[in-house]
Amino acid sequence: MKITVKIEALLFTIAVIVSISLIYTYESIRTEKGIIRSEIVKRAEAITSMATKNGELPLLSGSPRLLKDITSFLKARGDVAAVTFYDSSMKELIHEGPRISGTVPQLTPKVPVVISEREDSFVFYAPIFAERVPEDTDILHETDSDKTFREHIGWVRLVFSKASMWAAEQKIVERSVLLLLLFAGGSSAIVYILITLALRPLTRIVQIANGIADGEFSQDLEKHRHDEIGTLANAFQRMKMIIQQVLRETDALVVAVKQGRLDCRGNAESFRGEWRNLMNGVNLLTEAFANGAAELREAKNSLEKRVEERTAELAEINSALQAEVNERKRAEETLHLQTTELEEEVAERQRAQESLQEKALLLEEEIEKRQKAKEELERLNESLEQRVKERTAELEEKNAELYKMNRIFVGRELRMVELKARIRELEN
What angle is formed at CA 47 by the lines to CA 51 and CA 115, rounded to 5 degrees? 95
Q: Give me the torsion for CA of 210, 211, 215, 220, rounded to 10°.
A: -130
Neighbour-count burial of 402, counting CB atoms closer than 10 A to its CB (0-12 exposed, 13-18 middle, 19+ buried): middle
| pLDDT tens readout for residues 343-366 | 888 787 777 767 767 766 777 888
Could you please report the per-residue DSSP string of 19-43?
A: HHHHHHHHHHHHHHHHHHHHHHHHH
Residue 227: its pLDDT value, please? 65
Q: What SS3 class is residue 132? A: strand
Cα 352 from Cα 345, distance rounded (Å): 10
Strand partners, 150: 131
Which residues of the chain register pLDDT less than 70?
Answer: 1-3, 5-6, 78, 133-148, 215-229, 353, 356, 359-360
The pLDDT value recorded for residue 225 is: 63
Output the CA angle 213-219-223, nearest 5 degrees: 115
What is the pLDDT at residue 149? 73
Per-residue confidence (pLDDT) for residue 189, from 0 to 100: 84
Kind plus residue range of the DSSP H or E element containing 74: helix 64-75
Predicted pLDDT of residue 136:
42
Please state the φ and ψ torsions of residue 133, each to the nearest 5 degrees: -120, 155
Name the average pLDDT for the chain: 79
d(CA 409, CA 300): 7
